[in-house]
Structure 1
Amino acid sequence: MSADADEGSRSAPDAERAPAGPQAKGKAKRGSKATQSRAATEAALMAAALRLLERDGVLAGLSLQAVADEAGVNRGLIHHYFGSRQALLRAALEARKNAGEVPFEQVREDAPVDKEAWSFEAHARDSSYARVVALLALDGDEEFAPMPYVERRLADLRRESDEGRLPQDVDLAAVLVMWDSFFYGYFVMRTALARQLGVTPEQLDQRVIGTYNRLTGRDNG
């Protein structure tokens, strides 16, 4: 693992410090522009981190210098805006989770097997979320929560159990753990598994979801 994982906050680069003396005039007017610039830089850094994880894999670690170079910014901005590699990755996870908020709400009333199929297909389109979760777990980050929307998902499972779509006495939290462990494990190992079988990752996805549909009866619907 890179030593970057445990680096703490540092002072902002000179270019980011507020102007002093006569230059302070008009500072309020520039505030909105500065806020927009910070948001754009944060977004660029999070996107760069995800691209590097997709390109190099989880076990290669994640160098903050490489992230800064990929985003085209000063490395000091990572420490200034996020404080550490782990905080950067947690922010990237949160951004991805927020981006999935609307589609998640749209499938909440679907049958459990359909929701999990939707989740698999969403991860297949973009496996970066699973890669970030894996790296944070390997880093030993105690502040991140790997299961998204956990309270709402548990509420949905309780409702589905009451409706008879799940066994009454099943451990619902364990159901979430099982599903998420499968997703994260599969999408971290997906490329290596496909290579071993002599197929592309996309072909493997189709085989896995096809098998899931047969086992759950979705292909009879």
Structure 2
Amino acid sequence: MTAPAPTMDSPRVVTILEAACRVVIRDGAHGLRMASVADEAGVSKALVHYYFPTRQDLLRAAFALSEERWEHLVADEVAGLPTGRDRVAHSLAACIDTAPPHGEFRALWTAMWTGLHGDEELRPEVRTHYRAWIDLLAERVREGQADGSIDPDVDASVTAYRLAALTDGLDSILYLGLSEPVEVQAALRAACEQELDR
């Protein structure tokens, strides 16, 4: 019997993928096991395999679900902000917010990122999502240039790369406990202001 293609509309599939996300956050991407996900979801291991034949299929689908939800969350949050500059700043701040709901997505992304060292198959998946994130940042920089809130001479693509790298570095500092969240957020705001006013 061939399994149907999993869709995010299926409650069973969503339950399994949400459980997989929790397992990744708890055990790391390298620690994801079908049996652990089945236990977490309260379903049989056979059902998990029915929808996701391999561990990689499950991991990719769980990451895709998380990224889709993250994108919708942040898009909803920035939709009412008046300028592109505000949207850029909020998008970056959300990445290093440790409080719910942002913190859960941040934890999963960190687990996936660290999992790259032991799982080369993850690299294309993470790279694709990261590329899309940088492109989205560049688009929001251009929105700010169009509405006059960001210096028109700023190179949107280069600035997006720099801001993404800066945010990743600050997130690492936060993850290691080298600084408090309020201090890291303040540093991000200051650096963002400098980048957008070049």
Task: Tell me the TM-score range normalised by the shorter chain.
Answer: 0.5 to 0.7
What RMSD over aligned residues (CA atoms) do the two structures have, in Å? 3.8
| Alpha-carbon spacing, 1:57–1:182, altered in 2? closer, same or farther (3 Å) | farther
Q: What percent identity do the matched residue pairs reach?
A: 18
| Alpha-carbon spacing, 1:46–1:107, altered in 2? closer, same or farther (3 Å) | farther
Aligned pair partner of 2:12 in 41, 58, 71: 41
**How many positions carry a matched residue from both structures?**
176
What TM-score does the superposition give when structure 1 sets the normalisation length? 0.59
Contact 2:89 2:192 in 1 (8 A): no
**2:182 matched to 1:206?**
yes
Aligned pair partner of 1:160 in 144, 158, 175: 144
The amino acid across from 2:180 in the alignment is L
**2:100 matched to 1:116?**
no
CA distance in 2, matches of 1:121, 1:70: 27
Structure 1: unaligned runs, 5 residues or longer:
1-9, 17-34, 198-202
Give the equivalent residue in structure 1 for 2:157.
Answer: 173
Contact 1:131 1:184 in 2 (8 A): no
Structure 1 segment 1-221 matched on structure 2, within 5 A? 11-12=2-3, 39-57=10-28, 60-83=30-53, 84=57, 85-107=59-81, 109-111=83-85, 115-117=88-90, 119-121=92-94, 123-124=96-97, 125=99, 126=103, 127-131=106-110, 133-134=112-113, 137-138=116-117, 139=119, 140-141=121-122, 142-143=124-125, 144-148=128-132, 153-161=137-145, 163=148, 165-166=150-151, 168=153, 170=155, 172-184=156-168, 186-187=170-171, 190-191=174-175, 193-194=176-177, 197=178, 204-214=180-190
The structural deviation recorded for 1:118 is 5.1
Structure 2: unaligned runs, 5 residues or longer:
none
* Rg larger in structure: 1
The structural deviation recorded for 1:39 is 2.2
| Alpha-carbon spacing, 1:97–1:182, altered in 2? closer, same or farther (3 Å) | same
CA distance in 2, matches of 1:189, 1:78: 36
Contact 2:134 2:164 in 1 (8 A): no
